[in-house]
Structure 1
Amino acid sequence: MTAYRPDALIASDISAYLELHQHKSLLRFLTCGSVDDGKSTLIGRLLYDSKQIFEDQLSALESDSKRVGTQGQAIDFALLVDGLAAEREQGITIDVAYRFFATEKRKFIVADTPGHEQYTRNMVTGASTADLAVILIDARKGVLTQTKRHSFLAHLLGIRHLVVAVNKMDLVDYDQAVFDRIVDAYAEFAQSIGIQDFTPIPISGFQGDNVTTRSDAMPWFGGPVLLDHLESVEVNGDIDRIKPFRMPVQWVNRPNLDFRGFAGLIASGTIRPGDPVRILPSGRTSTVARIVAMGGDKDIAVAGESVTLTLADEVDCSRGDVIATADAPPQAADQFKATIVWMDPAELLPGRAYWLKLGTQTVSAVIRAPEYAIDVNTMARAPAKTLALNDIGVAEIVTDRGIVFEPYAESHDLGGFILIDKLTNATVGAGMLDFALRRAQNVHWQAVEITREAHAQQKGQQPRLLWFTGLSGSGKSTIANLVEKKLHALGKHSFLLDGDNIRHGLNRDLGFSDQDRVENIRRIGEVAKLMTDAGLIVLTAFISPFRAERAMVRSLLPEGEFFEIFVDTPIEEAERRDVKGLYKKARAGEIANFTGISSPYEPPLAPEIRIDTTRTSPEEAAEQIVEAIMGVWSPML
């Protein structure tokens, strides 16, 4: 007689459960709307009615429900989702809560997003991967500002299916007239922002009416109940399979010398061995030799599958490239119009370089000053010079090289991107590429025959960029001028770019705001690069207060040509000198955005040369700098 083995039974049950759900389609959806419209309660009801709650969860839920009070009902379904302590204490959703559940027909991932305006970025995060949005409206309140905001964001982020769930119908006696008025008001608004279709459903998440089963209290409603609609709506994965083939390459699979494949997640389309493909952005063509997956070779692969493709030809292909169908490839460009959602407490600085990550591609990108910001409460377009936390705006983006893309409306995978701060590695924004700017396709590099190496050889010197940075009054210009005099005496070809002098000409249109300071340094960096290309030793004397911009200029030059020289003078000493009287005016409030007083200065963390002007005279400093760049290396002076 075989002994009873509960562990074997459990393993068998789990295996059967996984097999049952493996081939079901997946719908990602989110709930959104005004504060206290019942989003968390609705999700909790779906989880409860679909029997997705374990016994220990149910016991904890019943205990918590008694503690917080549930209007006479035994279970507060919202507590299933409101996981943060702050949410339970305040009775609101703050973070995006994701839950998984499944029915006999489909698997679901649902995101419960916050309703408050200050959490717009959280709502955008939840919406970025959703196929469907459930917009909840309190039957007692009707269409509110938050309703419009979240509908606009869902539409902006390309969510194709919208459900308008008029909740808390039990609190208006299930009155059809109330429901009809709300639907008419929403339809009028939806049409004004371009929403062509939506599905209205009257529900009560608290009582369960029309959530998973049809309500006897609303016999006048002939549409689908919410769960039936979620089970039957077409998901984006089905649409993606009939689009042209696209696969961003995640990595080159090279386990040995006899195998070289390109691994990635298929974003759209279908692929078979023998299909012709094009590698972008290079444009090289080949054909698929094999499709390798976990279970072995496949005869066909479709959108949503992770595979490794081998090609018939030895072509140059690496991470960030895109393998596409040969006769219908995506575009490549380096200038775009984009919609940006700003997610960082620090404002966007137009002209600053950020990392832009689109699919498996990562490039350096500069965001120009926004054309306008969108008021998500009124949908109005307002002029904007920057974007603050939770702002949404439209701006031009310039990348340092061409990237493979498709408009976000056509492909979320090749049209949606995130922005990353280069210094902190924090994600500061997300966005959608609308289209490539025509000039990006018409402007090309002109080949020249006299190279930068030839220019340098003619002058008999190695190009250098000596970047003097420090507070106003630190002595940058004085030391830089002395250094150039010594270089000139040695027969070196040099040129000094001074901050004050440049603002009389090239940068006369710029002020001293953070944005203008960023643009000031960007322009100087580009000019300095051109001068080093001509073989010159370039000296620049600018406050250049931000590390990010100094790092940007460094990245423009070959390794070893950029020398960051920190003229380290305490602000008390700089103020004591105050030759131009600027600190005195700044202290009196007569000069705005003055570095060190009302605007920050970020000192270098690891400069090539540091000059302590409290211990070193300008003449001594100049001598030490010349010795350093001529080959006598002494990093800390």
Structure 2
Amino acid sequence: MTDAATLTPEADEEATELLRFATAGSVDDGKSTLIGRLLYDTKTLFEDQWDAVEAVSAGRGDEYTDLALLTDGLRSEREQGITIDVAYRYFATPHRKFIIADTPGHIQYTRNMVTGASTADLALILVDARKGLVEQSRRHAFLCSLLRVPHVVLCVNKMDLVDYDEEVFKQIEKEFCSFATKLEVPDLTVIPISALKGDNVVNRSEHMDWYQGPSLLHHLEKVHIASDRNLVDVRFPVQHVIRPHSSDLHDYRGYAGQIASGVMKPGDEVMVLPSGFTSRIASIETADGPLDEAFPPLSVTVRLEDELDVSRGDMLCRPGNQPRVSQDIEAMVCWMDEARPLRLRGKYAIKHTTADVRAVVKDVQYQLDVNTLHRDESANELKLNEIGRVTLRTTKPLLCDDYRRNRETGGFIIIDESDNRTVGAGIIV
């Protein structure tokens, strides 16, 4: 158990493992208050931040300091008492560093939820103990499953408003676990909390002695995420070719990028796609010097023993373990554009790893109702916040994997070429 009083700046420097987690839940379930509580109880706030929140709370006539104001930073959010934008917050304990994506609960902000959860190691889904599971709870659980978030924590919040009743908690836990069996949720934990009072958030609650599990922060510190990354399939999308102009380095040719998956070492045999030529890794270099091995999400420069034609958008992989090379892409797409829907035979630009290609929508197979999981096969377009399965035909082959196997090479964004706006996000199935 972490005692908030023991946190120090030195601990922040030592905390090397990073956990990204997204919060989700219905309106007024207390997401912003929960994040405010985590920031406050872990001594992450500056004095002027706390003073500002106290002043706003007093000005509104609140009987308590509203911790939600720490994350609802936009004026429109404060006026309406809701979260609109995805707010990112940072804090650290002696065990870990954290990045929180506070995502909105409204159905019209589904795209924001998808954005926040797409890079998350863990998702916190909040439920109001008085209301139990609602439509939004099921929708957020489905989105987390669709986006392959490895760990899900259901926080049954506002337990203080139901007198810390164990039966209320047990009923919600049973109902959610039953729903989760229809989804692909690898790791599920259920914790009863009160974000307002601080019960089971950082420290164990004295009011719920019937609960024997960890506090939320303890779980966040200890949940095992090292094995979530794909360390089997070597995928290195080339972002930039480095050819220094210096006369001392006229023979230098390095390929810079971020390792998407797998482990790379000098001496390893690699294949360059799409050309199919093979070579061996001569060295792996960083700004701090050479490495004996590299793994995701490190950004490195790879040098090969042979001079091959390699350019941005190409990929290094193992000869015996290659991604799929295909121009016909089946994907689940979340549409994010308010002005124009995704339409059959629509033409778009696709950004996939470091590759940029153009694509046409060959087929809209169905539009999915994320609340009921019903498929509307008569749909031929996707409007704002709608999710559906589509078939795309690209101008050049994509070097991709199924999203369930590799989130980095299995995801892409869709861009409207007329104004260069991101209009959709897709996961390859």
TM range (shorter): over 0.9
Matched, 1:342 2:332: no
Number of the residue aligned with 2:142: 152
Give the structure 2 partner of residue 402 of structure 1: 397
User: Alpha carbon RMSD of aligned pairs, Å?
Assistant: 1.4
Task: Mark the CA change 1:187 to 1:385 in structure 2 (over 3 Å): closer, same or farther.
Answer: same
Report the CA distance between 1:17 and its aligned residue. 6.9
Say which SS state the counterpart of residue 14 (structure 2) adopts: helix
Q: Report the Cα distance in structure 1 between the residues aligned to 2:164 and 2:392, rounded to whole angstroms.
A: 50
**Counterpart in the other structure of 2:299:** 306
Residue deviations 1:109-138 (CA, integer Å, cap 9, x gap): 001111111110011110110011001000
Q: CA deviation at 1:18?
A: 6.7
Between the aligned partners of 1:69 and 1:45, the Cα distance in structure 2 is 20
Does 2:368 match 1:374? yes
Q: How does 1:417-496 map to 2 (within 5 A)?
A: 417-434=412-429
CA deviations over 1:261-291 (Å, ceiling 9, x no partner):
0000111121111111111122111000011
Q: Is the 8 A contact 1:241 1:302 kept in 2?
A: no
Q: Which has the larger radius of gyration?
A: 1
TM-score, normalising length: structure 2 = 0.94
Q: Is the 8 A contact 2:238 2:255 kept in 1?
A: yes
What are the residue-to-residue correspondences of 1:87-486 with 2, within 5 Å?
87-195=77-185, 197-235=187-225, 238-240=227-229, 242-256=231-245, 257-345=250-338, 346-383=340-377, 384-434=379-429
**Letter paired with 1:178:** V
1 CA distance for matches of 2:20 and 2:77?
23
Give 1:337 shift: 1.1
Q: Quote the residue 1:508 is aligned against.
A: none
Q: Give the distance between the partners of 2:398 and 2:300, measured in 1 at CA.
A: 22
Letter of the aligned partner of 1:348 in structure 2? L
The one-letter code of the counterpart of 2:356 is T
| d(CA) in 2 for partners of 1:330, 1:139 | 45
Q: Which residue of 2 aligns with 1:28?
A: 20
Indicate the SS of the match to 1:110: strand
Higher deviation after alignment, 305-314 or 295-304? 295-304
Structure with the bigger percentage of strand: 2
Structure 2: how far apart are the matches of 1:353 and 1:272?
40
Counterpart of 2:418, as a letter, is: L
* Cα drift, residue 433 of structure 1: 0.6
Q: Name the CA distance, whole Å, in 1 between partners of 2:223 and 2:275.
A: 39
* Alignment map for 1:74-85 (pairs within 5 Å): 75-85=65-75
Tell me the number of residue pairs that the alignment of Structure 1 and Structure 2 aligns: 416
Does the residue aligned with 1:420 lie in a helix, a strand or coil? Answer: strand
What letter corresponds to residue 45 of structure 2 in structure 1?
Answer: I
**Alignment partner of 1:231: what SS?**
helix
SS of structure 2 residue aligned to 1:369 = strand
Asked if the contact 1:241/1:270 (under 8 Å) is kept, the reply is no
Aligned residue for 2:190, secondary structure, equals: strand
Flag structure 2 segments of 5+ consecutive residues without an equivalent.
1-7
Alpha-carbon distance between aligned partners in 2 of 1:111 and 1:150, rounded to the nearest angstrom? 14
Conserved? CA contact 2:72–2:83, under 8 Å? yes
2:29 maps to 37
Taking the aligned partners of 1:147 and 1:27, their CA distance within structure 2 comes to 23
Deviations 1:145-168 (A, max 9, x none): 000111111110110111010000
Question: What is the identity, as a one-letter code, of the residue corresponding to 2:169?
Answer: F
Q: Residues 358 and 417 of structure 1 are in contact (CA less than 8 Å); yes or no, is this contact kept in structure 2? A: yes
Matched letter for residue 132 of structure 1: L
Instruction: Give how far 1:238 is off.
Output: 4.0
| Structure-2 change in CA distance of 1:19 and 1:177 (3 Å) | closer
Indicate conservation of the 8 Å contact 1:166/1:200, yes or no: yes
Q: Percent identity?
A: 51
Q: Take 1:298 and 1:376, find their aligned partners in 2: how far apart are those partners?
A: 45
Equivalence for 1:575: none
Distance 1:369 1:242 in 2: 34
Alignment of 1:483-522 (within 5 A): none
Which one-letter code corresponds to 2:407 in the other structure?
A: H
Answer 1 or 2: higher relative contact order, Cα 8 Å, separation at least 6.
2
> 5 Å matches for 1:517-532?
none
Given candidates 27, 34, 47, the residue that maps to 2:39 is: 47
Separation of aligned partners in 2, 1:274 and 1:193: 42
Shift of 1:20: 2.6
Runs of 4+ in 1 over 6 A off after TM superposition: none
Q: Distance in 2 between matches of 1:69 and 1:396?
A: 54
**In 1, Cα distance between the equivalents of 2:287 and 2:11?**
21
Residues 194, 242 of structure 1: CA spacing in aligned structure 2 closer, same or farther, 3 A cutoff? Answer: closer
Separation in 1, partners of 2:190, 2:61: 31
Q: Give the superposition deviation at 1:192.
A: 2.4
2:428 maps to a residue whose letter is: L
SS at match of 2:39: helix
| Distance in 2 between residues matched to 1:62 and 1:194, nearest whole Å | 42
